[in-house]
Structure 1
Amino acid sequence: MKRFFIGSLAVVGGLSIFFFGGLIVLLILGASSKPGVPEQVVLELELDERLVEYVPEDSLASAFGSEQLTVRDVVDALEKAGGDERVKGLVVKVNGPPGSTAVVQELRDAVKAFRATGKKAVAYADTFGETGNAMGGYYLASAFDEVYVQPSGELSITGLAIETPFARDALAKLGVKPRMSKRHEYKAAVNTYLEQTYTEPHREETERFLTSLFGQMVKGVAEGRGLSEEQVKAAVDAAPLQGSEALEAKLVDGLLYRDEVYAKVKEAAGEGAHLLYLEKYLERAGRPNQGGLTTPTVALIYGAGEIARGQSRANPMSGDVTVGSDTVAAAFRKAVEDSRVKAIVFRVDSPGGSYVASDTVRREVQRAREKGKPVIVTMGTYAASGGYFVAMDADKIVAQPGTLTGSIGVYNGKMVTAEFWEKLGVNWEALGVGKNATMYSSDAEFTPEQHAKNEASLDRVYADFTSRAAAGRKMPLEKMQEVAKGRVWTGEDAKERGLVDELGGFPMALKLAKEAAKLEGPVRVEVFPRKKGAAEVLSSMLGEKQGENSEDEAAGVRMTAPWQPVLEQTRALYRLGTQLGVVGEERRQVLSAPVPDTTW
């Protein structure tokens, strides 16, 4: 019986290996037999959901060719298509905004650059918002040559709004006492727990970045549609608009169904034109800036997600990514050591996180520059608080006008939950050896001495942040302290205050990187850390060490194994409890600027 049991397990294991091996072979064969790009093609893109910023190079999807479309994928595909004679035009179905204001601006820039090559771009939607606000989707569409909407559709371009929850009174009813401190008055991340409405600084900050974003969008729509800003504002105030009203206001070029729009696009492209998905085109035509191995290389390093100590982590089920300081730091070291790499572009898309982890990454940016490798930061949706901390020592910082950045500040503390647990009949008792062993216990208030220590820690971190930011930006400390205070700025406002150097996206960052490294002609853009093969990714998911030393291991991304979603759900519930202050501890020395979702 024992032999039979062991033999059965061996057969099952062998069949499993055969199955996975066969799957990998089929995928490789499929990849090697891809068709080419037709001689006459119109690129087609359907924006059904938000574009991701980054698919980890160690992810299983990336190993077999990413199925998730990234912001860079669209930008690169349009840049490549602009110089490709086979590509005659572009048609995009806009089902909603592909992301934040900054992401939309990155795509608008790419569309305008594509049009500048003499090729036509058409946007279509069945409706711009049926029951909700579609300001973001229409803002993108307005960058195209022509915009069409279905006859039964509408333009619900009603402006921008933010709804912020304040739970101070609810926490009090639960018996939860927030004991949080911040530096300084604009650091609004903890206001949800401490306040019941906006403080004056919080209101001022929020209204200003909403006004800035709205102004950018109105200006963009006006330029794209050949209207005055007053006309666009009047249309927004009159929205939702029926299709006929939008046509009369010159916000769309016609009321057509999908088949009619696509027929017009193909007719304009010439007889025999084929439609081809943009992602398929990129797959077959390849990216721009991909010269041979002897071409000067610009390293592209991503810092996308919340910043934490240790290795970066990615969940293949949810797509969530964490910026691990060890992983990003190792990527910088490898780029510095690579003689082919002449400059580094660092893409930051993060609301921040750990102060210590942020400082680890900042140090590697500094070291890269000391080793003669220029570093150019390009900011995505946000690069705020810790996200700004990792960027501030770069040679140049590039942001979109709608990027949310700055938030130079810090918060920390804890939630005291003794009364909450008492109401549930639960008694927590903490035992510790050492005067301050239970300082951050959620069962007791800070003593006066502990409170003083906590405040001193905040002062130290804030002083370090502002002084380093002033040095990195070559700005007098007094001036930096005026624009810090934990305040979030749009990229447009941040440029005026010296926190960023240029407005733009990937192309602008690459241009500045070439200038800083004194490079002329073609360059090769290569993502660091390197992309891993399927076998390496699978073994990583099984917990096997990757690489021969700590440098190789640190440069990887720790993948969440397929059997961990249940654990992740449990952790998610725990994190929710932590946020509400009913379980766990609040993280200390946090450089984070969670920004409420903008309704648009």
Structure 2
Amino acid sequence: MKRFIVGALAVMGALSLLSVAGLVLLLMLAAASKPSVPGTLVLELELNEPLLEQVPEDSLAGAFGPKRATVRDVVEALEKAAQDKRVKSLLVHIDQPGGVAVAQELRDAVKAFRASGKKAVAFTDTFGEGGSATGAYYLATAFDEIYIQPSGDVTLTGIAMETPFARDAFAKLGVQPRIGQRYEYKNAVNTYTEQGYTAAHREATEKFLGSLFGQLVRGIAEGRKLSEDEVKGLIDRAPLLGQAALEAKLVDGLLYRDEVLAKVKEEAGKGAQLLFLDKYLDRTGGAREEGETVALVYGVGGIVRGKSESNPFGGEATFGAESVALALRKASEDKEVKAILFRVDSPGGSYVASDTVRREVQRAREKGKPVIVSMATYAASGGYFVSMGADKIVAQPGTLTGSIGVYGGKMVTADFWAKLGINFETISLGKDATLYSTDSDFTPEQQAKNDASLDRVYTDFTQKAAEGRHLPLEKLQAVARGRVWTGEDAKELGLVDELGGFPKALELVREAAKLPKDAKVHLQVFPRKKQPAEVIADILGGGEGDNSEDEGGAQVAALSPLIPALEQTRQMYRLGARLGLWGPPHGTLQAPLPETRW
């Protein structure tokens, strides 16, 4: 009996192993057999939330679940589709295109797609309901045709910038801003120190908005074959109801979604099928693997010292100098890499952190690796500092760039705490131990030290900018003083070299790397993308094995049972955020406490 039981257990164990092996084999076969691309298809894209520049490698958003399309994904997919005979047309539902620079990147990509002889159609239920949709409509005008449903409107009302000023509120609270700025156009501090626009602040803001407005009007006029004066008149008449928008030639028809889908499929040909852009990229192999290797390094978010970090569920990122510098260093040391494309989308941050990254750009060039910067929505202050030493800089006309300046200081809160009946007493050793204490004001000598620090940073910034841009220092200083510019104006001033997005940047990459103009290039993201188990290990505090493939494999085996639960958690987090169950309440004014940001 004992031998029978042992034998039976052995057979059961063998069968279990065979079952597991069979399951693994089936999973491998399923993974290897991707669905095919239909022979006649319409490429489809839903722009119902702003596109990201990068899905951070250490976020669950990047590791699990459906891949969220990035700006680069859309550009690459349209480049592929333009040459793919199976793709007959493009259909995009436009709701939230993101900022002006992102809209311009997408407009360029759509125009290039259309130049191949293929049709692009934009549709939405309405352009704006209770709010402006100028940006969404601006993007739509790059398409052959625009449709809204009969009940929709075109809320083409222009652009505006609202700036909160809280000086009097701080005074009532007993908070005293003690912040210095270099110089009059470094207006981020005005929220704390003013109750309205200063002359310099108003001048810079009006110039910036005027440039953006001109770009929008020209783009809409070109796309809809109207004069600029006609577009301005329509903006002043908006919102326009559906029929009025049709009569004004702002849209090509009033159709519901099902009618638009039926129309584009019929025009594409018999048997045409719709395929989402992300699935098209996945089924056609994603990034192009052939060609010379060009490193793609992202610098996205506020610049901080140390490593890049992100919200593990939502994916919002910081631009960690240590992480980005490492990526640049690895790319410059890789013998296969011919050049580096540095994609920057940052409003600035730490001066020291920015200088860390600038140094790695310099070192990459010294090693013979050309560096081309492609600016996205923001490349201001520290975002410009990390870019200014590159071989060439490309920006979109609407990119917020420049802001060559600095501010810093502290908020004195002693009176605020006194109103609450709270008294702080300090015992300190060292003459200036309380230099940046918020419980005491600057002494005249401490104020002088803070001013000297700002002067040092500003001098360093302007000198390095002049050197990097090959401009006389006097000319550079004239366009600095903390002032922001659009990419369009920045090009005229010599702060950037060319206007455009990824395609223009890659054109300059080929030129700098001495490659043929039509040479194929393979964009390799640095650093490498982390595996799901590595992301989980990092979140749980065990991610120290980045350089060990064996350890990474052990992490996958140990943590794989957690993956389904964590994916559910991520979905719950995103749903809760959309419902407002956590995160800042809608409409909350958020302004970071002043620190040296530039």
Specify the TM-score bucket, using the shorter chain as the normaliser: 0.7 to 0.9
Q: What's 1:429 paired with?
A: 425
Cα deviation, residue 590, structure 1: 2.3
Q: What's 1:300 paired with?
A: 296
Change in Cα spacing, 1:305 to 1:69, as seen in structure 2 (3 Å) is same
Q: In the TM superposition, what whole-angstrom CA distance separates every residue of 1:42-95 from its partner, at most 9, and x where no partner exists?
A: 011111111111112333343347622211111111111111111110111112
Find the aligned partners of 1:445 and 1:571 in 2 and give their Cα distance: 33
**Is residue 410 of structure 2 the alignment partner of residue 414 of structure 1?**
yes
Q: What's 2:41 paired with?
A: 41
CA contact (8 A) 2:58 2:535 kept: yes
Cα deviation, residue 188, structure 1: 0.7
Q: In the TM superposition, what whole-angstrom CA distance separates every residue of 1:6-58 from its partner, at most 9, and x where no partner exists?
A: xxxxxxxxxxxxxxxxx999997764443121111101111111111111233
User: Could you tell me the percent identity over the aligned residues?
Assistant: 66
Q: Which runs of 5+ in 1 are unaligned?
A: 1-22, 554-560, 592-600
Find the aligned partners of 2:30 and 2:446 in 1 and give their Cα distance: 63
Q: In the TM superposition, what whole-angstrom CA distance separates every residue of 1:186-213 from its partner, at most 9, and x where no partner exists?
A: 0011100000000011111111111111
Change in Cα spacing, 1:430 to 1:137, as seen in structure 2 (3 Å) is same
Q: What's 2:70 paired with?
A: 70
Cα deviation, residue 546, structure 1: 3.0
Q: What's 1:245 paired with?
A: 244
Cα deviation, residue 397, structure 1: 0.3
TM-score, normalised relative to structure 1: 0.87
Q: What's 1:228 paired with?
A: 227
Find the aligned partners of 1:419 and 1:26 in 2 and give their Cα distance: 70
Find the aligned partners of 2:283 and 2:24 in 1 and give their Cα distance: 20
Find the aligned partners of 1:262 and 1:119 in 2 and give their Cα distance: 16
SS in 2 for 1:321: coil
CA contact (8 A) 1:418 1:443 kept: yes
Change in Cα spacing, 1:577 to 1:397, as seen in structure 2 (3 Å) is closer
Q: What's 1:535 paired with?
A: 533
SS in 1 for 2:88: strand
CA contact (8 A) 1:42 1:276 kept: yes
SS in 2 for 1:470: helix
Q: What's 1:315 paired with?
A: 311
Q: 1:590 aligns with which of 560, 573, 597?
A: 597
Q: Aligned AA for 1:511?
A: E
CA contact (8 A) 2:58 2:312 kept: no
1:198-597 equivalences in 2 (<5 Å): 198-287=197-286, 289-291=288-290, 295-520=291-516, 521-544=519-542, 545-548=544-547, 579=591, 586-587=594-595, 589-591=596-598
Change in Cα spacing, 1:571 to 1:354, as seen in structure 2 (3 Å) is farther
Q: Aligned AA for 2:408?
A: N
Q: In the TM superposition, what whole-angstrom CA distance separates every residue of 1:463-494 from its partner, at most 9, and x where no partner exists?
A: 00000000000000000000000000000000
Cα deviation, residue 296, structure 1: 1.9
Q: Aligned AA for 1:40?
A: T
Q: In the TM superposition, what whole-angstrom CA distance separates every residue of 1:379-412 from its partner, at most 9, and x where no partner exists?
A: 0101000000000000000000000000000000
Q: What's 1:13 paired with?
A: none
Higher mean C-alpha deviation, range 384-393 or range 245-254? 245-254
SS in 1 for 2:318: strand
TM-score, normalised relative to structure 2: 0.88
Find the aligned partners of 1:216 and 1:144 in 2 and give their Cα distance: 17
Cα deviation, residue 104, structure 1: 0.2
Change in Cα spacing, 1:411 to 1:66, as seen in structure 2 (3 Å) is farther
Q: Aligned AA for 1:273?
A: A
CA contact (8 A) 2:56 2:316 kept: no
CA contact (8 A) 1:314 1:322 kept: yes
Find the aligned partners of 1:346 and 1:260 in 2 and give their Cα distance: 43
SS in 2 for 1:131: coil
Q: What's 1:196 paired with?
A: 195
Find the aligned partners of 1:438 and 1:250 in 2 and give their Cα distance: 65
Find the aligned partners of 2:26 and 2:363 in 1 and give their Cα distance: 44
SS in 1 for 2:217: helix
Change in Cα spacing, 1:24 to 1:350, as seen in structure 2 (3 Å) is farther
Cα deviation, residue 580, structure 1: 7.4
Find the aligned partners of 1:83 and 1:578 in 2 and give their Cα distance: 45
For the pair shown, the structure with the greater C-alpha radius of gyration is 2
Find the aligned partners of 1:388 and 1:26 in 2 and give their Cα distance: 51
Change in Cα spacing, 1:356 to 1:29, as seen in structure 2 (3 Å) is farther
**How many pairs are equivalent?**
548
SS in 1 for 2:424: coil
Q: What's 1:118 paired with?
A: 117
CA contact (8 A) 2:58 2:309 kept: no
CA contact (8 A) 1:430 1:441 kept: no
Change in Cα spacing, 1:570 to 1:444, as seen in structure 2 (3 Å) is farther
SS in 2 for 1:484: coil
Find the aligned partners of 2:73 and 2:364 in 1 and give their Cα distance: 27
CA contact (8 A) 2:121 2:145 kept: yes
Find the aligned partners of 2:27 and 2:73 in 1 and give their Cα distance: 21
Find the aligned partners of 1:91 and 1:577 in 2 and give their Cα distance: 36
Q: In the TM superposition, what whole-angstrom CA distance separates every residue of 1:239-272 from its partner, at most 9, and x where no partner exists?
A: 0111111111111111111111111101110010
SS in 2 for 1:312: coil
Change in Cα spacing, 1:27 to 1:309, as seen in structure 2 (3 Å) is farther
Cα deviation, residue 548, structure 1: 4.4
Q: What's 2:55 paired with?
A: 55
Q: Aligned AA for 1:337?
A: E
Higher mean C-alpha deviation, range 420-429 or range 297-306? 420-429
Find the aligned partners of 2:130 and 2:120 in 1 and give their Cα distance: 27
SS in 2 for 1:353: coil
Change in Cα spacing, 1:577 to 1:119, as seen in structure 2 (3 Å) is closer
Q: Which runs of 5+ in 2 are unaligned?
A: 1-22, 553-564
Q: Aligned AA for 1:72?
A: R
Find the aligned partners of 2:589 and 2:230 in 1 and give their Cα distance: 48
Find the aligned partners of 1:395 and 1:173 in 2 and give their Cα distance: 50
CA contact (8 A) 1:289 1:524 kept: yes
Q: In the TM superposition, what whole-angstrom CA distance separates every residue of 1:274-308 from its partner, at most 9, and x where no partner exists?
A: 001111111111345421xxx42100000000000
Q: Aligned AA for 1:590?
A: R
Find the aligned partners of 1:80 and 1:44 in 2 and give their Cα distance: 14
Q: Aligned AA for 1:420?
A: F
Higher mean C-alpha deviation, range 338-347 or range 309-318? 309-318
CA contact (8 A) 2:378 2:401 kept: yes
Find the aligned partners of 1:395 and 1:67 in 2 and give their Cα distance: 33
Q: What's 1:131 paired with?
A: 130
